């Protein structure tokens, strides 16, 4: 465990807020990773954000390499998104009726991701995967689900499952409160392991509703699919009458205008049946979606028998923010993301190499992570081989120098198109000392 090292930064305001928060909120946070448990120390309470910069309640500024875990692809408080949000808010906050921006956002997604003919809007990535799962089960009349260790799809009961003892055996709950009966419907397999998928389908093929996979995993750090893996999933699911759900909540509209699908292209044997989206498509507001072929989506209520709904689904402010964000994700934005990501990752790699810290940088388009292990990471076991204590020291040195990395070694580093040369320069300056701290 890394030792907390809030030495050179004034954090009394954040510390006081954490204490207040702990009294009324479990752990003081509304999403566990924010609590800094993996790295120790005091989570920074952020008061405001602009472009690539976060400012905490003590007045400290940080270059933001979390970007709200993906959504802030244009940077914070982008003027065009701000304008869209302010205009939408002036027209009212929530109608509970259909509204035009919902149509426009759906059209924008359908236009970008070829195999997606229809989408249903929801309010979080968790809801998107939960609903896609229900749709897959409803469409196939089967209940079992295959997922991969290290892939995160939100806190959906059957997807909060950990691998059982044998490859094709049923999974175990990965959280208290998940019933064994729910985990028993899930088969958890090692990522990038075609033989394991074949074996699971050989044993349970006619009971499996779907395989769900992150399009290119980012939740164990960035572990792209090995050549042919996505095509193998497509082939095997087709052979057994199961559906393929590709979760683009993190990669969607970030890796390319059409997400990971736009980079990798259509798998041999055809497109995935269902896609899930979130993060970027909400522009920092709660909007997410699941979608796919029109014939499948027609099984949803009100046209079909699979029930799904949401009071705030398609919220007018969230859809305005998402639409404005997508409309401003121009080719120049993706070019800039590439430059920013490569400049920072290359410099991190050089600094770590000079300090003698084993590491590996892995990519999915401009999405990247720096693993603190010298070996290529192909699955969750590989990711777990990292030196997490070294990452904790690295993280705290960067934080003390005004760069806010994800507070866990198992995450992607997110950049935005607003990371200008000043912000990048700030990161580059901080890296050598942080690398030496990691080596210590
Ligand atoms: N799917 C993926 C790939 C994600 O990365 C996440 C969140 O990080 C989710 C689903 C869940 O999304 P949310 O946190 O909006 O519920």
Using the atom order of ligand 1, give the atom closest to the CA of residue 288: 15
Question: Measuring from each residue's beta carbon to the nearest atom of ligand 1, which residues come in under 6 Å?
Answer: 69, 124-126, 129, 152-154, 214, 219, 247, 249-250, 278, 288
Q: Do 294 and 152 share a domain, yes or no?
A: yes
SS3 44: coil
Which residue's CA is the nearest one to ligand 1's atom 12? 125
Q: Does residue 2 surpass a pLDDT of 50?
A: no
Q: Do 276 and 360 share a domain, yes or no?
A: no
Catalytic residue (choose from 56, 64, 144, 152) = 152
Position 38 scores a pLDDT of 94
Domain boundary among 328, 357, 373: 328
Q: Do 211 and 67 share a domain, yes or no?
A: no
Residue 312 included in any domain: yes
Position 8 scores a pLDDT of 66
Position 5 scores a pLDDT of 47
**Are the beta carbons of 342 and 102 closer than 8 angstroms?**
no
Query: 70, 250, 312: which to mutate for ligand 1, most atoms within 8 A of CB?
Result: 250
Residue 3 included in any domain: no
pLDDT tens string 207-256 = 999 999 999 999 999 999 999 999 999 999 999 999 999 999 999 999 99
The string of DSSP codes covering 238-275 is HHTT-EEEEE-TTTTTTSSTTHHHHHH-PPTT---SEE
- Determine the distance separating the centroid of ligand 1 and the alpha carbon of 283, expressed in angstroms: 14
Residue 137 included in any domain: yes
Q: For the chain, how big is the Rg over CA atoms in Å?
A: 21
Domain boundary among 305, 328, 351: 328
Q: Which CATH number is 36's domain given?
A: 3.90.1150.10
CA diameter of the chain: 61
Residue 291 included in any domain: yes
Residue 406 included in any domain: yes
Beta strands in 14-166 (DSSP E): 46-50, 53-56, 61-64, 118-122, 144-148, 161-162
Residue 6 included in any domain: no
Q: Does residue 167 surpass a pLDDT of 70?
A: no
Domain that residue 86 falls in: 79-328
Whole-number Å distance between alpha carbons of 88 and 411: 33
CB under 8 Å to 362, separation ≥6 — which residues? 221, 222, 223, 224, 368, 369, 371, 376, 377
Q: Do 318 and 401 share a domain, yes or no?
A: no
Residue 2 included in any domain: no
Active site residue 384: no
Q: Do 97 and 239 share a domain, yes or no?
A: yes
Average pLDDT over residues 273-293: 98
Average pLDDT over residues 136-148: 98
Q: Do 425 and 303 share a domain, yes or no?
A: no
User: Which range among 145-159, 170-184, 277-291, 417-431 shows the weakest confidence by mean pLDDT?
Assistant: 170-184
Residue 4 included in any domain: no
DSSP 159: G
pLDDT tens string 34-62 = 999 999 999 999 999 999 999 999 999 99
Q: Do 144 and 29 share a domain, yes or no?
A: no
Position 166 scores a pLDDT of 66
Q: What predicted TM-score, i.e. pTM, was given to this entire model?
A: 0.96
- Determine the distance separating the centroid of ligand 1 and the alpha carbon of 304, expressed in angstroms: 26
Q: Do 428 and 378 share a domain, yes or no?
A: yes
Quick check: ipTM above 0.95?
yes
Whole-number Å distance between alpha carbons of 263 and 197: 24
Asked whether the CA dihedral 193, 198, 201, 203 is positive or negative, the reply is negative
Whole-number Å distance between alpha carbons of 120 and 393: 43
Q: Do 209 and 161 share a domain, yes or no?
A: yes
The string of DSSP codes covering 326-378 is HHH--HHHHHHHHHHHHHHHHHHHHHHHHTT---EEEEETTEEEEESSSS---
Q: Please list the residues that pair with 187 across neighbouring strands.
A: 146
Query: 67, 72, 127, 153: which to mutate for ligand 1, most atoms within 8 A of CB?
Result: 153
Average pLDDT, the chain: 96
Domains of the chain: total: 2
Using the atom order of ligand 1, give the atom closest to the CA of residue 215: 3
Q: Do 319 and 373 share a domain, yes or no?
A: no
Q: Which CATH number is 244's domain given?
A: 3.40.640.10
Active site residue 381: no
Q: Do 299 and 208 share a domain, yes or no?
A: yes
Q: Do 22 and 67 share a domain, yes or no?
A: yes
Instruction: State how beta strands 403-404 and 61-64 pair.
Output: parallel
Domain boundary among 328, 345, 360: 328
Catalytic residue (choose from 6, 64, 193, 247) = 247
Active site residue 380: no
Position 163 scores a pLDDT of 79
Q: Which of 83, 88, 115 is nearest to 102 (CA)?
A: 88
């Amino acid at each position: 465990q890394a030792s907390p090292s809030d030495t050179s930064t004034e954090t009394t305001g954040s510390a006081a807020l954490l204490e207040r928060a702990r009294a009324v909120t479990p752990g003081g946070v509304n999403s566990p990773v924010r609590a800094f448990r993996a790295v120790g120390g005091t989570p920074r309470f952020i008061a405001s954000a602009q472009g690539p910069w976060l400012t905490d309640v003590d007045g400290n500024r940080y270059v933001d390499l979390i970007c709200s875990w993906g959504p802030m692809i244009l940077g914070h408080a982008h003027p065009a998104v701000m304008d869209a949000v302010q205009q939408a808010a002036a027209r009212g906050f929530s109608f509970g009726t259909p509204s035009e921006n919902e149509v426009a956002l759906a059209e924008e997604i359908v236009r970008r991701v070829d195999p997606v003919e229809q989408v249903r809007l929801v309010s979080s990535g968790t809801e998107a995967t939960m609903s896609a799962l229900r749709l897959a089960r409803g469409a196939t009349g089967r209940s079992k689900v295959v997922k991969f260790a290290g892939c995160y799809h939100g806190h959906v009961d059957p997807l909060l499952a950990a691998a059982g003892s044998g490859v094709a055996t049923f999974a175990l709950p990965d959280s208290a409160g998940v019933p064994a009966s729910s985990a028993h419907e899930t088969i958890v397999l090692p990522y990038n392991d075609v033989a394991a998928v074949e074996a699971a389908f050989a044993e349970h093929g006619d009971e499996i509703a779907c395989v769900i996979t992150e399009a290119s995993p980012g939740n164990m750090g960035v572990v792209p699919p090995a050549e042919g893996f996505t095509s193998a999933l497509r082939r095997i699911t087709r052979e057994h009458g199961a559906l393929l759900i590709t979760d683009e909540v993190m990669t969607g509209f970030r890796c390319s205008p059409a997400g990971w699908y736009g980079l990798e292209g259509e798998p041999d044997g055809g497109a995935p049946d269902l896609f899930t989206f979130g993060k970027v498509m909400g522009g920092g507001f709660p909007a997410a979606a699941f979608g796919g072929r029109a014939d499948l989506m027609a099984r949803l209520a009100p046209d079909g028998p699979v029930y799904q709904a949401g009071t705030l689904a398609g919220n007018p402010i969230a859809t305005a923010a998402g639409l404005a964000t997508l409309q401003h994700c121009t080719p120049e934005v993706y070019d800039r993301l590439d430059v920013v990501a490569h400049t920072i990752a290359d410099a991190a790699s050089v600094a770590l190499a000079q300090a003698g810290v084993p590491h590996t940088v892995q990519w999915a388009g401009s999405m990247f992570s720096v693993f603190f292990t010298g070996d290529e990471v192909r699955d969750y076991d590989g990711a777990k081989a990292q030196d997490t204590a070294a990452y904790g020291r690295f993280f705290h040195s960067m934080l003390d120098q005004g760069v806010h990395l994800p507070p866990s070694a198992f995450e992607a580093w997110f950049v935005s198109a607003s990371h200008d040369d000043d912000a990048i320069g700030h990161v580059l300056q901080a890296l050598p000392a942080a690398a030496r701290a990691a080596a210590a």
